[in-house]
């Protein structure tokens, strides 16, 4: 399964590894190997991190806590106490190391450092009163993302994952209702 890093924050991207949360949830992390790949693909995290069974379970519990907190924030309600406890405790762990070299940045650390970094990023965005968190506008997606666009007018988590699907569906609907091919395709605006 392809991972999407479109939420603007690693904590939200981790939460987004479960899609369609209110229908039949689809989990992109089915085991430790998937999490190792997700970590390697995430820009802010070390490339080679070993994940064992217990570590995987901790990561999933952090993921669900972060999702719950993000949803609480989107719905403007009090944070869930248990989720706060998990996020805060994880954030207190060691952080990844950063080394500058001629080839650029080298990030080091084990799974504990990875989870701590993710928790800290999540806490920072959830605590920021100016951060505009939204749930994707495509029905059934349920991904929460950070809208950094001007005037916060972004509607979808990512163009590829959801924006294009919506546009294609709208295009098909227009085509059906007009009985003719519209002059602008799904790639037209936007």
Name the site residues for Zn ion (rule: CB under 5 A): 136, 138, 141, 143, 157, 162
**Cβ at position 51, least distance to Zn ion in Å:** 26
Closer residue to Zn ion, CB minimum distance, 42 or 141: 141
Contacts of residue 103, defined as CB under 8 A and 6 or more positions apart, other chains included, come to none
* CA 71 – CA 59 distance, rounded (Å): 18
Q: How far apart are CA 133 and CA 147, in angstroms?
A: 6
Residue 21 and residue 139 in contact, taking contact as beta carbons nearer than 8 Å: no
Which CB atom, from 84 or from 159, has the smaller least distance to Zn ion? 159
- Residues comprising the chain, all counted: 190
Q: Do the Cβ atoms of 117 and 44 come closer than 8 Å?
A: yes
- 117 neighbors 45 (Cβ within 8 angstroms): yes
- Which residue is listed with tokens 């001629």? 102
Angle between helices 53-74 and 32-41 (to 10 degrees): 60
Q: How far is the CB of 20 from Zn ion (least distance, A)?
A: 10
Q: Which is nearer to Zn ion, 19 or 55 (CB)?
A: 19
Could you tell me the smallest distance in angstroms from the CB atom of residue 141 to Zn ion? Answer: 3
Complex with Zn ion: residue 49 or 141, whichever CB lies closer: 141
Q: In terms of CB distance, is 110 or 135 closer to Zn ion?
A: 135
Closest approach of Cβ 145 to Zn ion, in Å? 8
Cα 57 to its chain centre, rounded Å, is 18
Closest approach of Cβ 68 to Zn ion, in Å?
Answer: 19
């Amino acid at each position: 399964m392809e991972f999407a890093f479109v939420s603007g924050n690693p904590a939200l991207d981790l939460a987004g590894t479960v899609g369609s949360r209110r229908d039949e949830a689809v989990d992109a992390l089915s085991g430790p190997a998937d999490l190792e790949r997700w970590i390697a693909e995430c820009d802010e995290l070390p490339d080679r991190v070993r994940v064992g069974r217990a570590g995987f379970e901790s990561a999933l519990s952090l993921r669900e806590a972060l999702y719950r907190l993000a949803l609480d924030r989107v719905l403007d309600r009090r944070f869930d106490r248990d989720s706060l406890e998990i996020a805060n405790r994880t954030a207190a762990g060691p952080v990844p190391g950063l080394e500058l070299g001629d080839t650029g940045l080298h990030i080091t650390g084990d799974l504990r450092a990875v989870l701590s970094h993710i928790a800290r990023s999540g806490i920072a965005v959830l605590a920021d009163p100016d951060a505009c968190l939204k749930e994707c506008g495509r029905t059934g997606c349920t991904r929460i993302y950070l809208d950094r666009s001007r005037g916060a007018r972004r509607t979808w988590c990512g163009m590829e994952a959801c924006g294009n699907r919506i546009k294609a569906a709208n295009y098909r609907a227009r085509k059906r209702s007009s009985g003719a091919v519209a002059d602008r395709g799904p790639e037209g605006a936007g």
